[in-house]
């Protein structure tokens, strides 16, 4: 089972203080990685640290401050060692009909998910290429795979992740830097609860098209991320892995 371990790896996880990011951080720490979580709210990061323990660290960082990405990578690598795993997980949600969504709102969501992730990837990838070792993960979505009403900005951003995965895979794989994405189904988290709160019809629709008839847990995403970042997935790159209870193929 050592092939599934992450001993000796340093993982930087954006949006790592809550929800799916924290679930990924928990699992990667349990698999032996040194975990650094990043986010905008220091109090949230400090609370997460109480759970993650001594092998974890945190950095206050806003992914929309694109110019600050190289400095973040520099601080992390100086304190914790070379970043060998980057998890682009930070994101925001906007539930609004498409025809009521403004260009500014779409751009805000897109910049948080896509441009912010690209800035960090640009900052960390040269070191991975030089060392000929690295794993870059993106948290995609069911919205990357099919149309979902009232989340046009989120859908546009998460769909763009698939293009990033494809293009980065074609450029970085020869340097043994693997690029993959996880497409979570509906996972029990603060963001998911906000999306279905006071909307029983939406909740019923989600569960009705999920063959396993339940929501997932953050750990379901975390262990998938461990696998994709581990030696067990050494020949896996350019993949978008649904972890969704069957929702992507549900009728």
Give the residue numbers marked as catalytic.
Answer: 154
> 3-class secondary structure for the chain?
CHHHCCCCCEEEEECCCCHHHHHHHHHHHHCCCEEEEEECCHHHHHHHHHHHCCCEEEEECCCCCHHHHHHHHHHHHHHHCCCCEEEECCCCCCCECHHHCCHHHHHHHHHHHHHHHHHHHHHHHHHHHHHCCEEEEEECCHHHCCCCCCEHHHHHHHHHHHHHHHHHHHHHHHHCEEEEEEEECCECCHHHHHHHCCCHHHHHHHHHCCCCCCCECHHHHHHHHHHHHCHHHCCCCCCEEEECCCHHHCC
Counting Cα atoms < 13 Å in the Cβ hemisphere of 251 gives 0
């Amino acid at each position: 089972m050592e092939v599934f371990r992450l001993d000796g790896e340093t993982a930087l996880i954006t949006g790592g203080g809550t929800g799916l990011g924290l679930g990924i951080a928990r699992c990667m720490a349990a698999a032996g990685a040194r975990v650094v979580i990043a986010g905008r709210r220091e109090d949230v990061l400090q609370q997460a640290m109480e759970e993650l323990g001594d092998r974890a660290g945190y950095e206050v960082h806003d992914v929309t401050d694109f110019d600050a990405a190289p400095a973040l990578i520099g601080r992390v690598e100086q304190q914790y060692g070379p970043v060998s795993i980057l998890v682009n997980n930070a994101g925001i949600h906007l539930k609004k009909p498409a025809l009521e969504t403004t260009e500014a709102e779409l751009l805000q969501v897109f910049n948080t998910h896509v441009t912010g992730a690209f800035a960090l990837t640009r900052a960390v990838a040269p070191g991975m290429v030089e060392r000929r070792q690295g794993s870059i993960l993106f948290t995609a979505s069911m919205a990357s795979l099919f149309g979902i009403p009232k989340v046009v900005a989120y859908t546009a951003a998460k769909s763009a992740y698939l293009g990033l995965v494809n293009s980065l895979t074609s450029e970085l794989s020869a340097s043994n830097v693997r690029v993959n994405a996880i497409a979570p189904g509906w996972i029990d988290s603060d963001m998911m609860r906000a999306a279905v709160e006071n909307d029983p019809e939406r909740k019923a629709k989600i569960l009705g098209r999920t063959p396993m008839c339940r929501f997932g847990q953050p750990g379901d995403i975390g262990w998938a991320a461990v696998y994709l970042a581990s030696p067990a997935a050494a020949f896996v790159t350019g993949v978008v892995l649904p972890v969704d209870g069957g929702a992507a193929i549900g009728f």
